[in-house]
Amino acid sequence: MRLKQTGIFEGRVQVRYSYGRFGWTRNGGKTWHGGIDLVALDDKTIRMPYYKGKKITGKVTRARIVYNHNDKTWEWGWYVCVQLDANQTPDTVNFLYFCHCSCLLVSVGQKVSSGDALAIMGQTGNAANGYDHTHLEARATATGTGVDPTEYAGCANAVGIYGTQEVDAPTSDAAASTGKLQVITVGPVSQGDADAILAVCKERGLTDAGLYKSEWA
């Protein structure tokens, strides 16, 4: 199986909380959400993104966790900050933050480029709702306000599932070779098998996205 990179992950990605809304982890839902919350459905490795299909490069300037609550970055848990090399993209973004990681795979000063592994998705810091995800934030300056990160997220700024899981298949199978999404019907099956299928769909976020359906025969 080979997976296509969608934003910061290989394979499919789910947007659980979009950029520009008001978050619920602080101040009773009155805090503006300066990034986008992404859940990897196929591979939890966080990777350096592309920009509209173009390879980009940068340098790791932060790879740490902050415990001092006077520094608001403590809420990010383990996080990586990459400063983009100059004059690669037409927008104002110079810094990318990858937050709530379970562990880090890079160190400060390291040069990285699109596709490089940076960290593993997690829920460290003040992560909302107790599920593994990555808060991706883009900034013009290191201490500035988050700007729209969707060109780096590789998906729309809206709740949903994006990307495809590509599977190696014979070239005669047109649907598989193009990596298109499929509708799969299984059954009738026993209650035990149905429960097992439901568990897998929940793990991959398909039930939350309304993509799982079960009916009695």
- Residue entry with tokens 């990318």: 96
Concatenated DSSP letters of 140-196: SSTTS-EE--HHHHTS-SSSEEES-------TT-HHHHTT--------S--HHHHHH
Peptide bond into 188 cis (omega under 30): yes
Q: Which residues contact 171 (CB under 8 A, 6 or more apart)?
A: 177
Tell me the C-alpha distance between 85 and 59, whole Å: 7
Q: What is the pLDDT of residue 216?
A: 75
Q: What is the pLDDT of residue 217?
A: 61
Q: What is the pLDDT of residue 178?
A: 39
Question: HSE (CB half, 13 Å, CA atoms) of 1?
Answer: 8
Residue 46: Cβ-neighbour burial (10 angstroms; 0-12, 13-18, 19+): buried
Nearest to 126 by CA among 168, 93, 79: 79
Torsion of CA 89, 134, 5, 47, to 10 degrees: 70
Q: Which residues pair with 8 in a beta bridge?
A: none
Q: What is the pLDDT along the chain (217 residues), one digit of tens a residue?
A: 568 898 999 999 999 888 876 555 555 555 667 789 999 999 999 999 999 989 999 999 999 999 999 998 998 999 999 999 999 999 999 999 999 999 999 999 999 999 999 999 999 998 877 889 999 999 999 988 889 999 999 999 888 999 877 655 444 344 333 344 556 777 777 887 788 888 777 777 677 666 777 877 6
Tell me the C-alpha distance between 40 and 6, whole Å: 9
Q: Is the dihedral of CA 157, 110, 63, 39 positive or negative?
A: positive
Tell me the C-alpha distance between 210 and 71, whole Å: 38
Whole-prediction pTM: 0.74
